[in-house]
Structure 1
């Protein structure tokens, strides 16, 4: 047998067919032998046998050759499984990988649509804030000499918006919940 020929589709098919046929032939011969041996031993009496002793003896001897038949049938099935596995794992693998790569590229292309939209949105946001820096607003503070956005009357109404907490220090719970009479 040429080992290089074994690693082709035709070579593997020929090998597994030969093995399968050999094992199936062996299995059928074992089955015929088991029948012959069992029938002959059932009819042969040995001195001192009781009722059904010959049948029990025939079954005990016959089951060994029936086991050989069973294993030959399994070996024939394994030969077919060898060919199927070779085709699946070796011959069809490049085509499956190519198909998987195409699907992966298709999914990637489908995902890039939302990514492009998100990138455009981020560009707009950056250009907006870059324009704010150009107008003089840096880190949320106005340059010296410009007035705040809130009127003086609103400073007392919205102290956090006007930066009043920086003048008084950090806020406490009492700033949010005024004291009532009778409570401390």
Structure 2
């Protein structure tokens, strides 16, 4: 049982080597590739020249922002995979995140149809929340909630074997009676 003193926090034992990390890595990498494919498809469709139309600058910005904001959930997926024990398998994340970032920056840099009223308009903060980016922000929010929950439960489980600091019944304060996880203190 780990020793707890107020001066030294509880040490976390290393990950159990008998538990394989590859299922978590596979799930996280597949989710990242699916998210990347969905965003690349949406971005390419938004600028596709259907029936001879030339896409506007707004279309390029919307497609580029969809690809750029997809990097946020990919990073959060990598963080969740890291917390679950994946290590080197997460290097497979470099490919979809890198492709998304490069593709998004390329699309944001393209000018639109010269006959548009604003063929070279600047990117604005509101473009981060266009229609194609909603899925990315929803996924990022869900992953952030999961990561905060995991960190919270791990932090609570480190305090003592039961997840809470031992309390003194009379005062309600932690460790006030001199009895800790390791046993009673000797008083002189």
Q: What TM-score, normalized by structure 1, do the two folds share?
A: 0.30
| Structure with the greater alpha carbon radius of gyration | 1
Q: What TM-score, normalized by structure 2, do the two folds share?
A: 0.30
